[in-house]
Chains A and B, each alone.
Chain A
Amino acid sequence: MSRAALLVLADGRFPAGGHAHSGGAEAAVKAGRITGAGSLEEFCRGRLHTTGLVSASLAAGAALGLDPVELDGAADARTPSPALRVAARKLGRQLMRAARATWPSPELDALAQEFPKGAHQPVVLGLAARAAGLGAEDAAYCAVYESVSGPASATVRLLSLDPFDATGVLARLTPELDRVARQAVEAARCAVGGGVAALPAASAPLLEIGAEAHAAWAVRLFAS
């Protein structure tokens, strides 16, 4: 196993489709909930402790070897918004392609076969980490970081926010990223014995509602 594989997988330039998604930031900007670095930080914090935590626990679970089909069902159950389910599967399919080309693995092949149109992205992420020789903690770190880096880089484009301010937001959130990643791994370990129901189910209703509204816009920069 190479620790540096974590950098490859977590790199925002890893070609897995994330660049076309704002993680709810576009809807929040339009609604006036993100107007600058301060409100971006609040938005990211909220997303981290809800979607971020859930995604990280799913990813950690997949990295630990939990059944990815069961995890995918658990992800569906934790994603009420149909628009967000569609986005998560689209991103899962794109990540699957990149991961299979980068770290070929029979487990990835099997999941691709099971879900030709895409499994939930965090599940694919965990399995990709496993294929790359990484562990549950690494998978969780990728997921929590993505949960905040996506909205931050989208906001740079949407508001012409100073990129140094956006990066500062991410840096200030890092102690919380550590905490949430740890929590997610603990939950995933519980799920190894206790089943996927042991995984967290934190939700952010405004993200879900915003995603539904956003999906109906005729003109938008981001796919979600």
Chain B
Amino acid sequence: MEINSTQLEENKEEVVFKIKDLNLFYSNKQALKNINMNIYKNKVTALIGPSGCGKSTFLRCLNRMNDLNDECKITGLIEYEGQDIKDMNTILLRTKVGMVFQQPNPFPMSIYDNIAYGPRCQGLKNRATLDEIVVTSLKEAALYDEVKDRLRKSSLSLSGGQQQRLCIARCLALGPDCILMDEPTSALDPIATSKVEELIAELKENYTIIIVTHNMQQATRVSDYTAFFMLGDLIEFNKTEEFFSHPKEKKSYDYITGRFS
């Protein structure tokens, strides 16, 4: 581990998240054990590992969604652009670090209102500005052409894949720097999945993306870095290419080759 991170720091990539000695407990069960890693700017970082290993938990630490759970205790340090996130205003943090969930979860309101939701919560009322944000976000999420005639229609009339892209657009509307995605394609069919994957590749130019996935092909396709978790431990963190071609740890090798799931 130690070797890894020193190696990676030589890459001189700009660090967005710096995670040091992160431990997380649900009441008395430890879900994350001494995690140390960096997330690099404008890169896609994939989090993989068997079910229940703490990927979602880790992701939710980054925008402090775990704060909502009283049973959850966190020790260690997470820095966002050099600032301890514990000292940051959660609302500010969440506008900078957006999140897309496993199940598409649009609000039961119109497509327009879904996207305008975040900016409106920040106090934006100007119609023209909102209109502009809605259009650009939808375009960025490659959804605009499909829905431009029915912005006022309910978001629930969209297909699952469209709903997920709407959720991405909703998150982009806040102008974040970083997007957290928790298995964003696991509820989608292959075509919708490939659309979202294409979208991720495009978004990478402007955003830092962290994506949880169970699909190792997906990890190789979309990510630059891969972090492999097991039972709350970060087993290995490396460039995706190297991780899949020359895994350093035996556990990684076993997982990639499908020795255990």
Q: Answer whether A and B are interacting partners.
A: no
